[in-house]
Structure 1
Amino acid sequence: MYLQWLIERMAGWSAEPALIWNDCTTTYGELIDRVRFWNAFLDTHQVAPGEVTTLEGDYSPAAVSLLLALIERGTIVVPLTKAVEAHRKEFLEIAQVESVVHIDEQDRWQFTRTGRTADNPLIATLREAGDPGLVLFSSGSTGKSKAALHNFARLLEKFKTPRQRMRTITFLLLDHIGGINTLLYTLSNGGVVISLRNRDPEAVCQAIERHKAEMLPTSPTFLNLLLVSHAYERYDLSSLKLITYGTEVMPESTLTRLHELFPHIRLQQTYGLSELGILRSKSKDSGSLWVKVGGEGFETKVVDGVLWIKAHSAMLGYLNAPSPFDEEGWFNTNDMVEVDGEYIRILGRKTEIINVGGQKVYPAEVESVLLQMENVVDAVVVGEPHPLTGAIVTARVNLAQPESPQAFRQRMRTFCRERLASYKIPVKVEIVDSEQFNARYKRVRR
């Protein structure tokens, strides 16, 4: 019922490829057959509409077809991936999961019941409406994860409008709003979903070459790693038409380098949140950080430099936190922005601003400069309390080759003096070996 329009559309492409997983192709017709299998499976295991069901897996034929079957049945889906394995028990409890389907790396599945009965008031409200649901957890990169409950029917509406068919890399995970958006966009337009064995630059470039991928939705952190790795030099990426980036602020130096290296590829900034869905966006041009966001079902406004959004597809609320919406339904993104007519430039989260003696420092601006330095692979900038200035700028950097901390600090200060105001130059620098991003390839500033 909820996906009849999509199933009918997919049936028109029955012989065409829908999904490439482990270098094996599943057609749209085969995907529909798998959805029928899962419908029978869920009947056998008495999974009822409104039941809270976790799907544990990645973009495999079993996982993708099960997701479609769960939506069609009207269940409340809680997708989880290996990236959140450490939080699995906590997430199952918060979402009050009643049944779990675990799909392993060989695409085999196991069904279990948890013995719970979901009684969260928001879940009850969704059940009364009779619509399918989706629970997404925030990444928790700056604090405790929150569980956003969506009415899935609202999220599906925008995919009914036909758009461009693309062969798409599924870089963003299945338990991420961007991953769900990528999957549904691709399937609803007859594209090809290209699954990855892993998400390092080598594997991604290999998949682009082998399967003639046209679109790569990813993060600025990954794109910086791609540049540093030089993996793009070892593979033919000529099929790639579009790279979209979001989830965090893009360093200007990274975007500039990408645009120079790939002038034939359109670079487009995206914007979305677990609480609201993905907005339509349009970058001023491939080399610009100015972007227009909004589209049908979204309203935006800027108050005191902060972006606020009202969305038809907004979540019903958090399962484990108070509602963040004001009385009129506006959501404070906490993203500081500059405005130029219809375009905005995202500067960074309000909570991440470093206040140095009354002067504002945005970490992304400093990181952009540090990433231009020779031998710097990655850089994360944060504020640290200081008794005189209120805070100081500190930087954690990863280096390609060993370098003495003293020599690097001196070289960094000389480099930054020509490019940054004095109060923005890191006072404290730490050279680290560990990765500074999470499984979603998003910088971790904690």
Structure 2
Amino acid sequence: MPQEMVREYLERGLWSPDTMVRALERHATDVPDGEAMSDRQSRLTWAQVKNQSDLLALGLLDLGLKRDDLVLIQLPNGVENLLVRIALKKAGLLAAFAPIMWRQSEMGPMFRYLDPKAVLLVDEFRGFDYLEMMASIRDEDRSQAQPHLLVSGDRVPAGAISLNDLMQRRADPEIRPDCLDQTRYGPDEVSLLSLSSGSTGEPKVCEWPEGAQVLIGSGIASRLKLTREDVVGIFAPVGGGAGAMAWLIAAQLGCRMVLSESMAAETILELIERERVSFMGTVPAILLRLLEHPDLSRYDLSSLRVIRTGTAALLPSVAQEAEAKLGCVMAPAYGSMETVSIAQAALDDPREIRLGGSVGRALPGIEVKLVDETNQEVPAGEVGELWVRGPGTSSGYFRDLEATRRAWGELGREGWFRTGDLAGIDAQGNLSLLGRKKQVIIRGGNKVHPAEIESILCRHPKVLEAAVVGVPHPVLGEVPCAFVIPRTGVDVVPEEFDAFLRSKNIASYKIPEEVLLMDEFPRLDSNKVNRLDLVQRFLSVRQAKE
């Protein structure tokens, strides 16, 4: 990132000398015995978080790792995941957290691309052997330097290092605790890499500066009126947008954090009741599981006052149902790997904003504009592609200057990230998303926005979730096809959705050519629906009929 941008952000007060590590150490000083975080196995105070993350940071440096060395991590949600995040920031080691569901086809290319100095893995999780996977990846190319292998769990192979032992053993006496004051990351440095296998399967890695993480965490907390007294439920993968934002919020404020490695509805509902969770960060797919739970009413959810959703769009019908059933405020948000978090509905926004499909206003310091096909700003009230820039966004793609230039148009202060999302902005600055620019279906010259049809379908009382994609057509070029997940226990036939859509007085070219029923949708790492997979499934069904 150019130094003139760093100076501008610091002078405007958008970035400050404060970092997440400084905030966490304040909590350890102010409320040392206050509970900081818990999961199924552990429960730590702020003083214990400081002590254990210090030991881990010193242990990593004792291995010979140097500042800005890259560490690739694959851990489930839990206290250990957060301790590793804190320790890496203290040691000045660049963190790259891979989704726990990644397998060799995703981890292999990312491992080779990043060329990490250390890899930290859980030994086994939900029946999958991560050590065996990494052994296969390392065997694929022995010419690549072999990194340190750190293991979370009881099964530690020869040559590997137990994460627990690393935190317990005495570090080199020359590596003193006060050395962490020199190694920790500053606000202008990239401390975290956000990973994705990308829509093409190729690695995509975004840089997240420390200052951006602090700004976004405090900005969301302020908009949702959260305080240290809140109990934060991180009920989405911490490596993804929704879970990561909940972590950034809680770390800034000093909230007690509740984590779960399971995203099962019953587990989350039990945790909300037992831990008295007041704020919950999650994704729409997980929220839908809660709403569908047959015994939802037997749980005491009275502590819950606000739910923030991110990663994927929250349909108005789902937001309205959630407020009615859960008795709390829904606060949809919007962001991406490249932009961290762009917009956030506020706690005191009118219901028609929060529950009407808007994601709220841009967060402090974030600039947004809408452009047409010629990259000119559209007139007020019109739809355009959303462009974003500011101190709360990524600083670009890791080790890929050309990809950064293509995505932002140009490097430096004048660059705008092209989101590829179609949006509208009202007079108060509230953003409403209309779908992906590339997902717009051109049916015989007429444009169909999938998000519009999905929103209508989800108003049907028998529909839990819907996705609309464009599929090839010999005459019209492409036509919309809808995939529907029915609600539990209902009998449904696809034809009734056709009639339902026609009753809404929409143009006939927007009516899906076919409606296919599914038990669940294929999903990407981010929990978004894998639309390419849906198209392929439709083509398979069509081929089977021919």
- Please indicate, yes or no, whether the TM-score normalized by the shorter chain is above 0.5: yes
Q: Which residue of 2 aligns with 1:122?
A: none
Say if 1:187 and 1:95 are closer, same or farther in 2 by CA, change over 3 A. same
Deviation at 1:156, TM superposition (A): 3.1
Deviation at 1:105, TM superposition (A): 6.9
Matches within 5 A, 1:230-269: 230-262=294-326, 264-269=327-332
Say if 1:196 and 1:143 are closer, same or farther in 2 by CA, change over 3 A. same
Alpha-carbon distance in 2 for matches of 1:140, 1:414: 37
Residue from 78, 92, 106 that aligns with 2:96: 78
1:205-248 CA distance string (max 9 Å, x none) = 12111111111112223223332334532311111111111222
Residue from 184, 187, 196 that aligns with 1:138: 196
Deviation at 1:415, TM superposition (A): 1.5
Deviation at 1:65, TM superposition (A): 1.6
Matches within 5 A, 1:336-355: 336-341=422-427, 342-355=429-442
Q: Is the 8 A contact 2:31 2:46 kept in 1?
A: yes
Q: Which residue of 1 aligns with 2:459?
A: 372
Moved more, 47-56 or 1-10: 1-10
Matches within 5 A, 1:249-398: 249-262=313-326, 264-279=327-342, 281-283=344-346, 284-285=349-350, 286-304=354-372, 305-319=384-398, 322-323=403-404, 324-327=407-410, 328-341=414-427, 342-398=429-485
Gaps of 5+ in 2: 1-17, 139-143, 148-184, 373-383, 533-546
Residues 1:437 and 2:523 aligned together: yes
Say if 1:290 and 1:81 are closer, same or farther in 2 by CA, change over 3 A. closer
Say if 1:60 and 1:251 are closer, same or farther in 2 by CA, change over 3 A. closer
Alpha-carbon distance in 2 for matches of 1:390, 1:343: 35
Alpha-carbon distance in 1 for matches of 2:201, 2:457: 26
Alpha-carbon distance in 1 for matches of 2:432, 2:23: 37
Q: Is the 8 A contact 2:196 2:525 kept in 1?
A: no
Residues 1:43 and 2:122 aligned together: no
Q: Which residue of 2 aligns with 1:172?
A: 236
Deviation at 1:132, TM superposition (A): 4.5
1:173-201 CA distance string (max 9 Å, x none) = 12224333321220221111111131122
Q: Which residue of 1 aligns with 2:73?
A: 55
SS at match of 2:345: strand
Q: Is the 8 A contact 2:193 2:207 kept in 1?
A: yes
Say if 1:215 and 1:435 are closer, same or farther in 2 by CA, change over 3 A. same
Deviation at 1:299, TM superposition (A): 0.9
Matches within 5 A, 1:184-263: 184-262=248-326
Alpha-carbon distance in 1 for matches of 2:340, 2:81: 21
Q: Is the 8 A contact 1:375 1:401 kept in 2?
A: no
Alpha-carbon distance in 2 for matches of 1:318, 1:96: 16
Deviation at 1:438, TM superposition (A): 4.2
Residues 1:115 and 2:138 aligned together: no
Matches within 5 A, 1:415-434: 415-419=500-504, 420-434=506-520
Matches within 5 A, 1:4-23: 4-22=22-40
Alpha-carbon distance in 1 for matches of 2:190, 2:423: 34
Percent sequence identity over aligned pairs: 24
Tell me which amino acid in the other structure corresponds to 1:115: A
Residues 1:150 and 2:237 aligned together: no
Count of matched residue pairs: 431
Q: Is the 8 A contact 1:245 1:270 kept in 2?
A: yes
Alpha-carbon distance in 2 for matches of 1:141, 1:401: 34
Deviation at 1:52, TM superposition (A): 0.5
Q: Is the 8 A contact 2:240 2:311 kept in 1?
A: no
Tell me which amino acid in the other structure corresponds to 1:396: F
SS at match of 2:54: helix
Moved more, 427-436 or 412-421: 427-436
Alpha-carbon distance in 2 for matches of 1:424, 1:23: 51
1:144-174 CA distance string (max 9 Å, x none) = 4511123334433555788523211112312
SS at match of 1:193: strand
RMSD: 3.1
Q: Which residue of 2 aligns with 1:121?
A: none
Alpha-carbon distance in 1 for matches of 2:343, 2:494: 42
Q: Is the 8 A contact 2:277 2:304 kept in 1?
A: yes
Tell me which amino acid in the other structure corresponds to 1:151: P
Alpha-carbon distance in 2 for matches of 1:154, 1:401: 45
Moved more, 190-199 or 250-259: 250-259
Alpha-carbon distance in 1 for matches of 2:365, 2:238: 23
Matches within 5 A, 1:87-98: 87-98=106-117
Q: Which residue of 1 aligns with 2:245?
A: 181
1:362-396 CA distance string (max 9 Å, x none) = 22222223233344343221011213222111012
Q: Is the 8 A contact 2:99 2:525 kept in 1?
A: no
Structure index of larger Rg? 2
Deviation at 1:18, TM superposition (A): 0.7
Gaps of 5+ in 1: 118-126
Alpha-carbon distance in 2 for matches of 1:350, 1:145: 22
Tell me which amino acid in the other structure corresponds to 1:204: I
SS at match of 2:431: strand
Residues 1:69 and 2:133 aligned together: no
- TM-score in terms of structure 1 length: 0.87
Tell me which amino acid in the other structure corresponds to 1:34: Q
Tell me which amino acid in the other structure corresponds to 2:425: V
SS at match of 1:19: strand
Tell me which amino acid in the other structure corresponds to 2:365: G
- TM-score in terms of structure 2 length: 0.72
Tell me which amino acid in the other structure corresponds to 2:459: Q
SS at match of 2:393: coil
Residue from 476, 492, 497 that aligns with 1:412: 497
SS at match of 1:83: coil
Say if 1:353 and 1:253 are closer, same or farther in 2 by CA, change over 3 A. same
1:59-80 CA distance string (max 9 Å, x none) = 4333212211111221111012
